[in-house]
Chains A and B, each alone.
Chain A
Amino acid sequence: MGKKRHIRVMVAKPGLDGHDRGARIIARAYRDAGFEVVYSGLHQTPEEIVEAAIQEDVDMIGLSSLAGAHNYLFPRTIELLREKGADDIDVCGGGIIPDEDILKLKEEGIKEIFTPGTSLDDIVSWVKANVKTR
């Protein structure tokens, strides 16, 4: 019989951006939805995030950025996952990310971007529907 796994996600704050209101709220929402959430804390480099994601065997990394550096930080995370043979871990993003950037980021491998105003329930539903556990 197929055992049902708990979804494990990582909520991460890459770069120097200190706005963590959204990240902390989504972490709580994920917990309330029954996920196990590893919270990275602030000021993480993409290298640190990927290393942690691998050790924690998460199904998805949620990156939060509100200071404009997403065009470097998000693709770098994908690149590192690929390098380490861990690109089966999905990567999503959230925060202040303009529309043109969203297209580019999705092309580079970010699965979805959640912009301001998206309800927590919508985000959780999306994750439940689209992120596969092993």
Chain B
Amino acid sequence: MSSIFDRKVFDEIEEAQTKWNEELDRIFSSKPERLKRFSTVSDREIKRIYTPKDVGSQDFMNDLGFPGQYPFTRGVQPSMYRGRLWTMRMFAGLGSATDTNRRFHLLVKEGQTGLSTAFDMPTLMGYDTDSPKARGECGKCGVAIDNLKDMEDLFDGLPIDKITTSMTINPPASVIWAMYIAMAEKRGIDRRVIGGTIQNDMLKEFIAQKTFMCPPKPSVRVITDTVEFGTNNVPRWNTISISGYHIREAGSTAVQELAFTIADGIAYTQEAIDRGLDVDDFAPRFSFFFNSHLDFFEEIAKFRAARRMWARIMKERFKAKDPRSWWLRFHTQTAGCSLTAQQPYNNVIRTALQALAAVMGGTQSLHTNSLDEVLAIPTEEAATIALRTQQIIAEESGVANTIDPLGGSYFVESLTNQMEEEAFDIINKIDDMGGMLTAIEKNYPQQEIADSAYHYQRQVDQKEKTVVGVNKYATDEEIPVDMLEIDEELEKLQIEKNNRVKSERDATSVKECLEKVGEACVGTQNVMEPLIEAVKAYATLQEICDVFRAVFGEYRDPGIY
């Protein structure tokens, strides 16, 4: 195996670099370097310059290769954006199903190529709008879905047999998926035809996003049910979107995001194998979801490292044989936590740079945040600008002309290698603890994230890290931005609608269906078919989730700070 550079060249470079550094030290002795410390947002120190030496003995064919070839560092598909651009998939959800349906139609008209659904807090937590816990929350951060009728209204008039739908839902993911399948079947669309994703990743909930319902073990059991069901019945569906986005939003570093996400993926893979499934049957349908944060090159390196790591893990650890099992396909969202309420128009630029990093990192689909995301659900104008950001990158910037344009950069290759190594260290630590479920029980990832979050905030407060418009270049001037408001009446109307659905359905049938769901939960039968029957009978989301809660118990926040 040949190295890109040989020993003699390395020695020459070493000598030249030493001289160059000495010269710089002379320059900086009279006028110091621009900053005391040059580091990424994750606080990784970055060197003055990178040379072939930093890439070391990297082997082009084995470590990089070509897109679509193991270990996929340069891209999962052979053709990448030369064949087809990434899917522009803007997250949307607000108010009632009809409101969101309208937003979906708008985005599709403006050129979006896939649907992505945001649900409101009660729906995310498995409550109906009329639950006392849901007071004041209806429709505020996404669409309210209480029953199958809401799901039917949500996708009214949209060609779900032709475009794919992503649904960001976790504890009640199985139920919401059941509603989607039922809705499609009622429209005569077969379950083998529909394509999409449910996020359905409870491990990261316990670690970071904290929408929970039932404890970890039964949650993972239900997820494995969905994986099994998808493998056998809904072949075009990605049943888990193994997520790092939220882990990063909760305050982790880039390496922690990478490591914990992959560790979650390892856990889900093992669970499915323990269930008796063949890895090549389900692994091709696992997808990932990453954050694209502020440090341009760190993010690109992260994406490349992720692909290589997953390929190696799938091939060597889990002995997968189908190349599609080795692929790490991912959706990216630009970092919400990096946006500011001050001078909101700055957020357009932040989002653009983060989107650029995601594209240069080879993402399969992308959501770009809107400038007003820190204040409220985006207005149509703001959401359109965010979509245009992607379109300009795709059509005007030229970065999609070639695949993996930064491949071979001494800096990026070095960073990719470093991040892979550090992430594997964390994964080994988790393995030593007994796997992700045990690590979560021990509060290990939660505590690591809390510490990183606090560290970063302290750096911002002490101006070691700049936030433009906030701790530097701040103005007192108020910059007005139009904001979307959710009608307060909505909660009342939604409750009335849900009551109507309940009064028109067959109560006996609902009762029987719920009992069957309960039986499946208590036993080992896959819960999906009973769930599809229950939603078809118009059992509500909470009625079904209450069965889960009754059988599996409820999980309460342990309060790690």
Contact = CB atoms under 8 A, between A and B. Distances in A.
Instruction: Indicate, yes or no, whether A interacts with B.
Output: yes
Interface of A: 15-21, 24-25, 27-29, 39, 41-43, 45, 67-69, 71-73, 76, 96, 98-100, 115-117, 119-121
Given A16-B137, A16-B211, A19-B210, 12 more contacts: A19-B249, A21-B250, A25-B457, A39-B559, A42-B559, A67-B137, A96-B376, A98-B376, A98-B483, A99-B478, A116-B341, A117-B340
A68 B471 contact: no
Contacts of B375: 96, 98
Contacts of A16: 121-122, 124-125, 127, 133-134, 137, 211
Nearest to B484: A98
B209 interface: yes
Given A17-B121, A24-B450, A96-B376, A68 B467 contact: no
Interface in B418-468: 450, 453-454, 457-458, 460-461, 467
B276 to A, nearest CB: 33
B342 interface: yes
A43 B471 contact: no
Contacts of B469: 117
B165 to A, nearest CB: 23
A interface majority secondary structure: loop
A18 B71 CA distance: 37
Given A28-B454, A68-B140, A116 B340 contact: yes
A67 B467 CA distance: 23
B141 interface: yes
Given A24-B450, A98-B376, A41 B557 contact: yes
B135 interface: yes
B557 A42 contact: yes
B141 A39 contact: no
A83 B275 CA distance: 54
Contacts of A73: 136
Nearest to A20: B210
A41 B559 contact: yes
B333 to A, nearest CB: 15
A15 B210 contact: no
A3 B467 CA distance: 41
A41 B340 contact: no
B346 to A, nearest CB: 11
Given A16-B121, A16-B127, A45-B133, A67 B140 contact: yes
Contacts of A99: 478
B561 interface: yes
B486 interface: yes
B137 A117 contact: no
Contacts of B458: 120
B135 to A, nearest CB: 6
Given A39-B559, A43-B557, A116-B374, A69 B140 contact: yes
Nearest to B373: A96
Contacts of A121: 461
A15 B121 contact: yes
Interface string B108-148: 00000000000001101101000011111100110000000
B14 to A, nearest CB: 43
Contacts of B210: 18-20, 42
B454 A15 contact: no
A83 B81 CA distance: 62
B320 to A, nearest CB: 34
A28 B250 CA distance: 15
A48 B250 CA distance: 25
B368 to A, nearest CB: 19
B561 A28 contact: yes
A18 B337 CA distance: 14
A25 B453 contact: yes
A134 B488 CA distance: 38
Contacts of B460: 119
B486 A21 contact: no
B453 A24 contact: yes
Nearest to A17: B121
B556 interface: yes
Contacts of A120: 457-458, 461
